[in-house]
Amino acid sequence: MTTTMPTTWTKDAIFEALGLTDMNSGVSDGAFFPHPGGPELVSEIPATGERLASVQQGDDADYDAMMATATKAFETWRMMPAPLRGEIVRQLGDAFRQHKEPLGALISLEMGKIYSEGLGEVQEMIDICDFAVGLSRQLYGLSMHSERPGHRMYEQWHPLGPVAVISAFNFPMAVWAWNAMLAAVCGDVTVWKPSSKVPLCAVAVQKITDEIMARHALKGIFTLIVGRGKDVGERINNDPRIPLISFTGSGRMGRHVGECAAKRFGRTILELGGNNAIIVMDDANLDLALRAIAFGAAGTAGQRCTTTRRLFLQKGIAKQLLERLVKAYGTLPMGDPLEPGTLIGPLIDAGAVKDFEAAVARAVDEGGTVLAGGKAVAGPGHFVQPTIIHCPKQLAITCEETFAPILYVMEFDQLDEAIEVHNAVPQGLSSAIFTTNLLSAERFLGPNGSDCGIANVNIGTSGAEIGGAFGGEKETGGGRESGSDAWKAYMRRQTCTINHSTSLPLAQGVKFDI
Ligand code: NAD
């Protein structure tokens, strides 16, 4: 394992470039609160276990003050023409572009993904800004033909209100941007509660955002509160002023947030855990499959919602592909995520390492055989070996998401059989098939094929583009974010009928003459 320090970005250089300090306020309603009332939160560097910096969390009073600014800001923001809102989002995108490198480096430092992926995450923020700018002129409603003479019918989309974004640790910036940029052009204001494991990333993004908004004398459009789930999280879950919560995180927490919101008729966009699989057919291009599997399963140290966790190999190619995969796993450079050349960074914390160890032990207990990795790495930081476990069949553990680089491999004879096992898990996020046979590809994409929100052919499960709607089925939560028509979730639909005649005919021919 390589342990040398980064050659390019140091912690000091990142802090200087982003205006961060050793102790940062974690609450902003457009301007950072000088003294939030919540407890201090220490953020750690997962690659070393060292302290990174502290963030002062918000308390109840801070939440109320922030919400007061946000709800007031909504009154004016919703009246601004959408293309003008889009122009402000364009400027945000430019600001993220200017800060792309230090932001990417901060993601690597605080979350632990490799620098290239950190940069990719910031690029995703920039891309979604561009997408949202175009969208600001395309918030289309339909018009319908009325059955009544002299009547016109159409639907229009109005802003919804303050939207809460509760984000997971593994995409500490992009998840906010996916939601906040669309919400902004739709006329909503956003309240962001980031994961307590990566608060500094949120503070850095908020600082840049505040600066752009201040240029327009706008406050409260994008607000931030770092706080504990049981305090701030629960306030959001149960706040009737928040018509929509976009929650990204574990299935367990998402279920709770969904139940709280449903009780008050609030809406949710739930982006929860995945248990993604790749099916490789005998006729597949194995070079492509190999790279996609390695990136999907070991990349980001297995900490993507779209990480490849199960691999189904048709028996004709199983042995040779597995041998190549095990060999490739042996060469993956592990170490400091900021160091060029590193491909495998650390897990987020010691708890994640324990979960990894427990899952490997359970898999072996249930009949699996470890072919590569399987162990935590001793020393500073939270590193584990990327792991391949051969399983005789679907096991109880392979139906669960463990947020670590563990790949369960199973073999099959016929595609029908593989698809059945593929779908026999509670989650339904991302899926892929490698084949050069059109019939197999279409079988996989058909109504009785993959039951996931994302289904790919000859590319892996990981690394979606922002242009498509992103999300999954079943216990993944059913939410959709980002591209396509995902914007509709951030608005309320209004159906309007206008009578421009001099009579009042009733629909369905009903008579009620007085
Ligand atoms: P998590 O569920 O532990 O935390 C998610 C968020 O919930 C954090 O911001 C946390 O502070 C907050 N929270 C905690 N208690 C709360 C409460 N009582 N009320 C409201 N919010 C509360 O998840 P995590 O470990 O940060 O992220 C990993 C999980 O996220 C994985 O399961 C992964 O698959 C999932 N994920 C899904 C997607 C997707 O798009 N489907 C994307 C990224 C991550």
Quote the CA–CA distance of 372 and 415 in Å, as a whole number: 26
If one counts every other C-beta atom within 10 angstroms of the C-beta of residue 160, the result is 21
CA angle (234 as vertex; 230, 235 as ends), nearest 5: 125
- How many angstroms separate the alpha carbon of residue 166 from the centre of ligand 1? 7
Q: Whose CA is nearest to atom 21 of ligand 1?
A: 233
Is 508's pLDDT higher than 70? yes
pLDDT tens-digit profile of 303-360? 999 999 999 999 999 999 999 999 999 999 999 999 999 999 999 999 999 999 999 9
Can you tell me which atom of ligand 1 is nearest the CA of 167?
A: 9
User: Which tens digit of pLDDT belongs to each residue from 151-197?
Assistant: 999 999 999 999 999 999 999 999 999 999 999 999 999 999 999 99
Alpha-carbon distance of 45 to 110, in angstroms, equals: 5
Q: What is the pLDDT of residues 418-437, one digit of tens each?
A: 999 999 999 999 999 999 99
> What pLDDT does 6 receive?
47
**Average of per-residue pLDDT values in the chain:** 97
User: Which of 43, 170, 429 gets mutated to test ligand 1 (max ligand atoms within 8 A of its CB)?
Assistant: 170
Q: 271 an active-site residue?
A: yes
- Assigned CATH topology for domain 21-44+54-272+477-493: Aldehyde Dehydrogenase; Chain A, domain 1 (3.40.605)
CA 479 to each of CA 126, 273, 336, 429, 430: distance values in angstroms, whole numbers, following the listed order: 22, 12, 34, 10, 13
> For residue 196, how many C-alpha atoms fall within 13 Å in the half-sphere facing its CB?
15
Tokens 């402000």 appear where? Answer: 88
* Active-site residue, selected from the candidate residues 44, 271, 401, 481: 271
Condensed to tens digits (0 to 9), the pLDDT of residues 97-152 reads 999 999 999 999 999 999 999 999 999 999 999 999 999 999 999 999 999 999 99
Where, residue-wise, is CATH 3.40.605.10 in the chain? 21-44+54-272+477-493
Query: Would you state the pLDDT for residue 379?
Result: 81
Q: Is 302 in the pocket of ligand 1 (CB under 6 A)?
A: no
- Residue 2 reports pLDDT greater than 80: no
Q: Which member of 186, 305, 391, 452 is catalytic? A: 305
Rounded distance between C-alpha atoms, residue 444 and residue 422, angstroms: 10
pTM for the predicted model, two decimal places: 0.97
Residues of the chain with CATH 3.40.309.10: 276-465
Instruction: Say if residues 441 and 291 touch (Cβ distance below 8 Å).
Output: no
Among this protein's residues, is 201 annotated catalytic?
no
CATH of domain 276-465: 3.40.309.10
Distance (Å, whole) CA 201 – CA 52: 11
Higher pLDDT, 510 or 7: 510
- Report how far apart, in Å, the C-alpha atoms of 157 and of each of 32, 79, 404 are: 32, 13, 41
**Average pLDDT for 189-207:** 98
> What is the whole-number distance in angstroms between the Cα of residue 253 and the centre of ligand 1?
7
Q: Which amino acid is at 40?
A: E
The one-letter amino acid code at 333 reads P
Straight-line distance from the first to the last Cα atom of the chain, in angstroms, rounded to the nearest whole number: 87
- What's the rounded mean pLDDT across residues 473-502? 98
pLDDT at residue 463 in the model: 85
Under the banding of pLDDT at 50, 70 and 90, the label for residue 236 is very high
What pLDDT is stored for residue 5 in this prediction?
43
Question: Please, are residues 482 and 305 in contact by the beta-carbon 8 Å criterion?
Answer: no
Residues facing residue 120 across a β-bridge: none
Confidence of residue 3 (pLDDT cuts 50, 70, 90): very low
Q: Tell me which residue of 2, 213, 159 sits closest to 491, measured CA to CA.
A: 159
Helix H or strand E segment including 256: helix 251-263
Kindly list the strands in the beta sheet with 40-44, ordered across the sheet, starting from the edge strand earlier in the chain: 23-25, 51-56, 40-44
Question: By C-alpha distance, which of 452, 164, 412, 406 is closest to 312?
Answer: 412
Amino acid 7: pLDDT: 55
What distance in angstroms lies between residue 155's CA and the mean position of ligand 1's atoms? Answer: 35
The proportion of the chain whose per-residue pLDDT surpasses 90, expressed as a percent, equals: 98
